Every structure is written in C-alpha cells, then in structure tokens.
C-alpha cells in the first residue's frame, strides 16, 4: 500500500507541475535536423521511453527515435545526486547545444529541468516526425501498459499477437501480493516451479514442460510476463525461451508501470487457464540459451567469449556475497563485470528512473567498458539466475546472437572449494 501511495503522490505532483508550466517550449528557438547535426547538438527525445524504443505513436507509420537521439523522458525524476551521471551518460554539457523533441509539454518540462542543471543552449528540433528513425531490434517484445490495456480490451494494437496469448504475473512464493492487486486476467507463476534447491538452478525439462502445459502454454502461445520485480519475470522469460516458446514479451517497468498509469487492477485468486496436452516441439528447443558449470569453465578459455558477472561492484570484488544464504565472497577469475544495481535485488544500472529499460546505446557503452561485445559468445550469471536472466533478455532484445545464462552462477561456483575465486579491485583486461 505504501508503494501505491508513493506512486499516486508522484503522479499528482507531476500533474500539478505540468498544469503550472509556462510555455517554455514556445520560447525555444527552432533548430532543423541539418543544423542540429552541423552544430553537433545533442538530440533529446522527451517522450515516454516505449516510443523511443520502437513503439509507434498514434497516427505514426513508424516508431522509434530520431537517428542518433538520446532519451530523457519528461516523466523521469532524477535526484540531485543522480543528475550529474545522467547528464554525462547523454553527453549533455553546458557548452553543447541541445535539440529537444516531443509533445510541447514534454519539451517544456525537460527544458525546465535542464536549465536547472546549467544547460542553456536549448532548441526545439524541427521536422523530427519525418526524420529517419532507429529502434530497439526486438522492440515488440518489450510491451508497455497502454498497449497491454488496449490488447485486453480488444482494441487494434501494433505488433499484436498472431494467435493465442496469455498474461502472467511472476513472483517468488504464494501469491500474497497478487491477491491484493494484480493486472486483470493475469495468471500467476511461482518461481519455485521454475527453479529448485539446493542451488536454485532450473527444474528438470520435464518439470518445466509440466508447468507450461498446466498453464495452457504451447510453443506458439504468445506469453506476456510482468513482475513486481522485473527480474522474476525475466527469469521465467529466459526459461520459456529455452523451452521453445516463440513469442515471449515483458511488461517494461513491471507492475509499477501499470500502477503509474492508473490502469484497472483486480483482487482475488489467480486466473486459471485451460491446460494443453502438447507443447508442440521438443524441450529444450534452444539449449544454447543455457550454460552449465562445465560450459562456463570452457568459455573462460575461449578467446572470443565473455563470462559476464551481473552483480554489484561490492559482490564482484568480494566485499559481500550479496545473499544471506551464500557465505563465500568474491567472483570467478576471468569474468567480466556486466554491472547490476544497488544490491542483489536490483538491476538499476540497466533501468531508467521509472524502472524501464535504458536505451540500448547506454547498455552497450556500459558493457564496452569491460570488453563485452555483441559478437562474443556471452554467458551472463549472477548469484542464482534472476539478474542474469534480465541481462540476457536485454541482450536478446538488441539481437545479440550468441548469448546464454550460466544458471549456477556464483552460488554453484563458490559451493565447490576446488573452483578458483578472486577478490579485490581489478580492471578490465586490455
């Protein structure tokens, strides 16, 4: 309830602020796309991130963002401590011109915020609607609340499922929070049905198949997943893709994104879908998405590869294990740091302030610092698989070809004292 109240307060504050905004957008001098390029201006997309990622706005024939533009949505709220890092990630400096585009109020709000940060050379980009666009390769797999609500109501939507579709909330344990509030029509998947003790690796292929069939999921069913923590939904997404579900989608920003839009919720027991008898293809259809301990060790010896630790810096250097039930501290020698978040329950390094996926370019820049490249054979891991699954899904959205999750992660690796470990500060290899 407290989280819901905070979101309601934030939304109310935003509405009051926007109602009081002066017409800053009208004050911004216009700048053509050609002039923006000649001045080496930073182009800023002030719209919601799903439009930047690839979803078309109403009346548009194409989605995505102006080629080369950065994303800074008017909906985002940065703290004073967060602004310097945000400006740096988008190349914003006081001596560089900035060309903003979007709806007038969106442009006005971002212009106001940038002025407070000392960014003065502000322009309004002209002709952006007809400019060449870029987008996330698999933008259709990262859905947003308005799209899902329209789909539920039977309205025409872009990138609609071609056949049967089902919606699930994914979380650990019994559906206590689900009972109090969930997206209408959603089923419920307990991650205990996806992974098992002692190491929280995935269940057997037969057990995974049983879960899918019980929930009416075939290989050709469109499955839309969301979580109160997107990592849980990503864990399910990865294993469904491993099994062979062809069309798996995540609600970007999770359930919080739904709450912010004031969309309808329900209370009560999970929706039960009609079971199916056959999955339709042999499981696993994509064994290459899954990496074992022995395969992880072999990967470390391959020159064109990356074993990617999706953990906090403190976990990576051995200040903490990250988990109450994992005692050893440190990481795998030769692993590359793929970033994570503030703790083992966070993927904030990959998220915009509203919890949606950062632009692909920012994630690529982050990974490039540790020589993690799209052409490599990359296996992502964390403590037990949740964070790694989200990093895997984002890489897949960017169309990385050779990716997997090392399911055992640090828990499995550190449970055998014969496996080497490393602690302390270190830098990426040249």
Distance CA 243, CA 29 (A): 54
270-279 per-residue burial string, b: 16 or more CB within 10 A, e: under 16: bbebeebeeb
Closest C-alpha to 383, from 314, 313, 309: 309
Which residue among the candidates 44, 240, 382, 405 is catalytic per the annotation? 382
- Helix (H), strand (E) at residue 49: helix 49-53
Distance CA 301, CA 90 (A): 36
Distance CA 79, CA 349 (A): 15
- Helix (H), strand (E) at residue 224: strand 222-227
Active site residue 19: no
Q: Is the dihedral of CA 204, 192, 291, 408 positive or negative?
A: negative
Residue 146, token pair as written in the block = 């308005």
The radius of gyration of the chain from alpha carbons, rounded to an integer in Å, stands at: 22
Q: Which residues contact 392 (CB under 8 A, 6 or more apart)?
A: 234, 238, 289, 380, 403, 404, 405
Distance CA 401, CA 18 (A): 43
Distance CA 233, CA 40 (A): 40
Distance CA 301, CA 402 (A): 16
Active site amino acids: 382
């Amino acid at each position: 309830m407290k989280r819901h109240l905070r979101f309601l307060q934030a939304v109310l504050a935003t509405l009051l602020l926007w109602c009081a905004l002066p017409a800053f957008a009208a004050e911004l001098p216009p700048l053509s796309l050609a002039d923006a390029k000649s001045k080496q201006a930073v182009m800023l997309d002030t719209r919601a991130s799903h439009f930047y990622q690839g979803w078309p706005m109403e009346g548009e024939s194409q989605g995505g963002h102006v080629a080369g533009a950065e994303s800074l949505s008017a909906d985002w709220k940065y703290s004073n401590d967060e602004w310097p890092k945000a400006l740096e990630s988008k190349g914003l400096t006081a001596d560089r011109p900035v060309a903003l585009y979007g709806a007038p109020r969106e442009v006005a709000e971002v212009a106001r915020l940038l002025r407070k940060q000392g960014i003065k050379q502000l322009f309004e980009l002209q002709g952006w609607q007809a400019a060449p666009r870029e987008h996330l390769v698999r933008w259709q797999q990262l859905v947003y609340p308005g799209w899902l609500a329209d789909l539920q109501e039977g309205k025409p939507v872009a990138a609609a499922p071609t056949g049967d579709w089902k919606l699930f909330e994914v979380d650990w344990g019994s559906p206590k929070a689900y009972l109090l509030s969930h997206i209408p029509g959603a089923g419920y998947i307990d991650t205990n049905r996806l992974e098992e003790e002692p190491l929280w690796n995935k269940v057997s292929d037969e057990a995974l198949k049983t879960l899918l069939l019980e929930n009416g999921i075939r290989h050709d069913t469109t499955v839309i997943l969301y979580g109160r923590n997107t990592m849980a939904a990503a864990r399910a997404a990865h294993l469904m893709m491993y099994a062979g579900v062809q069309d798996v989608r995540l609600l970007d920003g999770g359930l919080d994104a739904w709450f912010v839009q004031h969309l309808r919720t329900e209370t009560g027991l999970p929706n039960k879908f009609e079971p199916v008898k056959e999955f339709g293809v042999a499981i696993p259809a994509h064994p290459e998405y899954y990496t074992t301990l022995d395969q992880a060790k072999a990967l470390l010896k391959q020159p064109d590869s990356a074993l990617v630790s999706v953990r906090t810096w403190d976990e990576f250097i051995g200040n903490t294990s990250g988990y109450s039930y994992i005692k050893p501290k440190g990481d795998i020698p030769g692993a590359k740091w793929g970033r994570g978040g503030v703790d083992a329950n966070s993927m904030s390094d990959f998220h915009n302030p509203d919890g949606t996926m950062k632009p692909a370019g920012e994630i690529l820049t982050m990974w490039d610092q540790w020589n993690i490249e799209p052409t490599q054979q990359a296996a992502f891991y964390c403590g037990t698989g949740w964070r790694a699954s989200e990093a895997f899904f984002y890489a897949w959205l960017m169309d990385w070809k050779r990716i997997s999750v090392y399911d055992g992660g640090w828990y499995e690796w550190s449970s055998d004292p014969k496996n080497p470990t490393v602690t302390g500060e270190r830098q990426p290899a040249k």
